[in-house]
Amino acid sequence: MVDSQKTPERYRDSGNGRYRVVIVGGGFAGLYAARKLGKDRAVDVTLVDRRNYHLFQPLLYQVATGALSPGDIAQPLRAILRRNENTRVILAEAVGLDPVARRISLNDGGTVDYDTLLVATGARHAYFGHDEWATLAPGLKTIEDATEIRRRILIAYEAAEREADPVRRAEWMTFVVVGGGPTGVELAGALGEISRDTMRRDFRSIRPADARVLLVEALDRVLPTYPENLSRSARRQLEGLGVTVRTGAKVTAIDEDGIEVAIGSDGTDRTERIPTRTVLWAAGVQASSFGRKVAEALGVEVDRSGRLPVGADLAIASHPEVMILGDLAIAKLQGGKRVPGVAPAALQEGNYAADSIRRSVLGEMPEPFRYRDRGDVAVIGRLSGVADIRWLGRFGQMSGLPAWGMWLGVHIVYLIGFANRLVVIIRWAWSFLTHGRGTRLITGEPHLPPIKRPKHL
């Protein structure tokens, strides 16, 4: 898979004798590559990110639902890499690539030259051609997304509390999550818990437990990448939290006070309108804008989501000095299977890229990327979740308490920053004991929705 002819070109030395690795994106793939290259005196590492922190995205939905603070799941990149003296961090957005000069350009007008370029700028959710839905149904990829979703959920309860009209009140107390993958399942489960537990005694005019939470998925089951029995289990666990699961339902329209879905496997059986003021989006994949620019500059054909195909060396076939890592890549394994777009895969790709570069600098042959599938785990709520630890075979398919326990352990271990780990453990333990969520803050200027007939008397 890896052509030895490419090696000299791909790992050409820089003038000062140090090999220049430029990494764009400080997510799992980029950060793990940087960490592994950070002690290597033969290379110079430059990490470019438009944010000054690494974000632990798997816990972002907990920020969106008021269980954790943004600072608990983010760590400054400079702090993580401070001891790596061969590494510098640049806070900027990469906006262009010149593959002949081997140079990227940044939004501040600066440029950086590379011998090997690692592109790990990830992907966002996609609205399937309906970009006008973005403001009506925010997705969950950044800290700003998470605090915006938190604000909308909390404002909806506040608006319901003071709304006298029962129809409008019901609209405020209906929450629709679009997309039945892990993020959608976790969001819907958390919304179910918020209405049943967290908010139970917080209001005087409404009963938060009357809230309706709907999870809408176009395919015929939730968690479609899991075995079918676990999808069924996830659905039962969600329903146990009061979540209504609508599979085979495709979103056809979203507006200020509702969402329209086409029901049925072919989407033509009938259309249903769900009146709601809060729609959250957890569907679709769309390559980052720098990813698209890289594809254009290198003349690479991308898939429908804009992702770039790479070989088993994670490099672009025509440009072996450019590696694509993480969610932005379509990496085919030797058996023809695709590497999934999940955090553990990105992390392994980052480590692989670092190893591969070090081998080449030492004149050794790079080996093809091997993905170790440790399995999947998704949490649904208190003491519930599903896990599919594939190397354990049938014994690795777990539901409820064992899956939940495994989820907790895995996320604590991979969270970066010792203080963050302790803080998250405390917030979780406290939430578990009290059914509370401590960070339910409406931040930013509070934009209260207009109400028609206020009734505070």
Q: Where are the alpha helices (DSSP H) in 241-288?
A: none
Question: Alpha-carbon distance 174 to 54, whole Å?
Answer: 33
CB closer to a copy of itself, 242 vs 438:
438
CB closer to a copy of itself, 267 vs 438:
438
DSSP string covering 418-447, please? HHHHHHHHHHHHHHHHH---TT----SS--
CB closer to a copy of itself, 142 vs 244:
142
Beta bridge partners of 391: none
* Residue 71 within binding range of a copy of itself, rule CB under 8 A: yes
Tell me the per-residue interface mask from 321 to 340 with a copy of itself, x by CB under 8 A, - otherwise: --------------------
Angle (nearest 5°) at CA 100 between 99 and 101:
95
* Residue 414 within binding range of a copy of itself, rule CB under 8 A: no
Question: Alpha-carbon distance 154 to 320, whole Å?
Answer: 49
CB closer to a copy of itself, 233 vs 431:
431
Question: Alpha-carbon distance 274 to 254, whole Å?
Answer: 10
- Residue 186 annotated among the catalytic residues of the structure: yes
The burial class, CB within 10 Å (0-12 / 13-18 / 19+), for 232 is middle
With contacts defined by CB under 8 A, name the span among 104-112, 120-128, 233-241, 294-302 that binds a copy of itself: 104-112
With contacts defined by CB under 8 A, name the span among 123-131, 273-281, 289-297, 412-420 that binds a copy of itself: 412-420
Tell me the per-residue interface mask from 252 to 271 with a copy of itself, x by CB under 8 A, - otherwise: --------------------
Choose the catalytic residue: 163, 186, 193, 217: 186
Q: Per CB under 8 A, which of residues 129..168 are in contact with a copy of itself? A: 143-144, 154, 158, 162
Report which DSSP code applies to 213. E
- For 419, phi and psi rounded to 5 degrees? -65, -40
Question: Alpha-carbon distance 125 to 284, whole Å?
Answer: 5
CB closer to a copy of itself, 394 vs 453:
453
With contacts defined by CB under 8 A, name the span among 50-58, 247-255, 336-344, 378-386 that binds a copy of itself: 50-58
Report which DSSP code applies to 251. E
CB of 166 to a copy of itself, least distance (A): 18
Among 79, 95, 134, 298, binds a copy of itself (CB under 8 A): 79
Among 34, 74, 222, 245, binds a copy of itself (CB under 8 A): 74
| CB distance 138 to 280 below 8 Å | yes
Question: Alpha-carbon distance 405 to 409, whole Å?
Answer: 6
The burial class, CB within 10 Å (0-12 / 13-18 / 19+), for 418 is exposed
* Residue 50 within binding range of a copy of itself, rule CB under 8 A: yes
CB of 348 to a copy of itself, least distance (A): 27
| CB distance 245 to 274 below 8 Å | no
CB of 387 to a copy of itself, least distance (A): 27
Nearest by Cα to 172 from 451, 444, 442, 446 = 451
* Residue 419 within binding range of a copy of itself, rule CB under 8 A: yes
* Residue 83 within binding range of a copy of itself, rule CB under 8 A: yes
* Residue 454 within binding range of a copy of itself, rule CB under 8 A: yes
Among 42, 99, 113, 271, binds a copy of itself (CB under 8 A): 113
Question: Alpha-carbon distance 313 to 2, whole Å?
Answer: 6
First to last CA, the chain: 74
Report the DSSP pairing between strands 243-246 and 397-399. unpaired
With contacts defined by CB under 8 A, name the span among 46-54, 179-187, 238-246, 277-285 that binds a copy of itself: 46-54
* Residue 47 within binding range of a copy of itself, rule CB under 8 A: no
DSSP string covering 127-171, please? -TT-GGGTTTS---SSHHHHHHHHHHHHHHHHHHHHB--HHHHHH
Nearest by Cα to 188 from 250, 225, 226, 235 = 235
DSSP string covering 157-210, please? HHHHHHB--HHHHHHHTEEEEE--SHHHHHHHHHHHHIIIIITTTT-SS--GGG
CB of 116 to a copy of itself, least distance (A): 17
* Residue 240 within binding range of a copy of itself, rule CB under 8 A: no
Size of the residue set binding a copy of itself (CB under 8 A): 66
Among 136, 219, 253, 423, binds a copy of itself (CB under 8 A): 423
* Amino acid type, 416: I
Among 39, 82, 207, 338, binds a copy of itself (CB under 8 A): 82
With contacts defined by CB under 8 A, name the span among 3-11, 110-118, 233-241, 293-301 that binds a copy of itself: 110-118
* Residue 41 within binding range of a copy of itself, rule CB under 8 A: no
**Which positions are catalytic?**
186
Give the interface with a copy of itself as residue ranges (CB under 8 A): 46, 50-53, 68-72, 74-76, 78-79, 82-83, 88, 90-92, 106-113, 143-144, 154, 158, 162, 199, 201-204, 417-420, 422-423, 426-427, 430-431, 436, 438-446, 448, 450-451, 454-457
